[in-house]
Amino acid sequence: MEIRSVGIVGAGQMGNGIAHVCALAGYDVLMTDISQDALTAARALVERNLDRQVSRQAVTEEQKAEALRRIGATLTLSDLGRCDLIIEAATERETVKTAIFEDLVPHLKPDSILTSNTSSISITRLASRTDRPEKFMGFHFMNPVPVMQLVELIRGIATDEETFAACHAVVERLGKTAASSEDFPAFIVNRILMPMINEAIYTLYEGVGSVRSIDTSLKLGANHPMGPLELADFIGLDTCLAIMNVLHDGLADTKYRPCPLLTKYVEAGWLGRKTKRGFYDYRGDEPVPTR
C-alpha cells in the first residue's frame, strides 16, 4: 500500500523529530499528545530545527513553510484513525503503549499500519494486543531524529511482507537507511549500546574513573563523538534503565544487570538533560559532573 498520511502518538523528543522528517518528506502528519502544551512545544521545536536547517542551506524557506503546513495536531487519539501509518512514540513503558493501541484500534481504517518506536519492547507482544498483528511492526528511529540516518525495522512473528515493504519505502523516502532486526530484546543498536553505557556506569560506581575521565577516555580513546555518561544523560537515564531491565528480564543473563548507581539516579529523579541533572548538572552555563 502507498503511505500518504502519518499519525504520531506522543509529541516528545522522539515524536516531534519524527513529525519533522515525515512532513519534510511530503507526508501529511497528525500528532497527538495528552497535553496541549506538549503539542505547542513540539511544533515550536520543529520550527526551530527547520530554521537551523535553513541557515545551513539544507532546506529552503519554501520547504520549511510547506513542512509546517503539513503538520497538524489533536488531543483526540481517535483522530489518528484516518491515517495510513501510525507511529507510536510514547514513553518506554509497555502498559502505556498497550493502552494506546487498545484505545486506537476501534478507530483505524482496515488497511492502516500500526508501528511502535519502542527501543526495546517485544514487537510480537505489542502486536498481539491489537486486531492486526500482520500489519504491526517496530519502527525505531534514532535520536535526534532529523540528524541520525538509521531506522531499525523490526518484524513481529506475524508481520506480513506487504507491511514491511511499505515501511521500508517510507524510510527510503525520508532519506534514511533501514536496518532489519529480528524481534529480540533491545533489537540491534540498544542490544550493543546499552550494555556499554551500563558498563561505563559500573566503571564510575566502582571508582575506576571519574565522570570526566570515563567520557574523555571513550571520546579520545575510541573516537566516540560523545562519552557514554554524557550520552546516557542525552538519552535519559530512565530510558537507559528501562532498556537494561528489558534485556535483563528478556534474556535472563546477569551481564545485563542494571548498575545500582543507574537505579539510584533514576530514583532521585536525576534523569539527565531533560531534568537538568544526571551524571552532569546542566543548571549552569557549562555541564558539571555530579560525581
What amino acid positions are annotated as catalytic residues? 119, 140, 152, 190
Q: Cα(242)–Cα(162) distance, rounded to whole angstroms?
A: 31
* Cβ proximity of 288 and 280 under 8 Å: yes
* Cβ proximity of 24 and 55 under 8 Å: no
Residues paired with residue 72 on neighbouring β-strands, in sequence order: 30
* Cβ proximity of 171 and 235 under 8 Å: no
Q: Cα(97)–Cα(126) distance, rounded to whole angstroms?
A: 8
The owner of cell 515525515 is: 22
Nearest-5° Cα angle at 36, 237 to 79: 105
Q: SS3 helix, strand, coil % of the chain, rounded to 5? A: 50, 15, 35
Q: In 174-236, where does DSSP find H-type helix?
A: 189-205, 211-221, 228-235
The owner of cell 539516579 is: 265
**Which grid coordinates belong to 143?**
535520536
- 213's CB contacts (< 8 A; 6+ apart) are none
**Which grid coordinates belong to 183?**
524481534
- 40's CB contacts (< 8 A; 6+ apart) are none
Angle 237-251/189-205 helices, nearest 10 degrees? 110
Q: Cα(1)–Cα(3) distance, rounded to whole angstroms?
A: 6
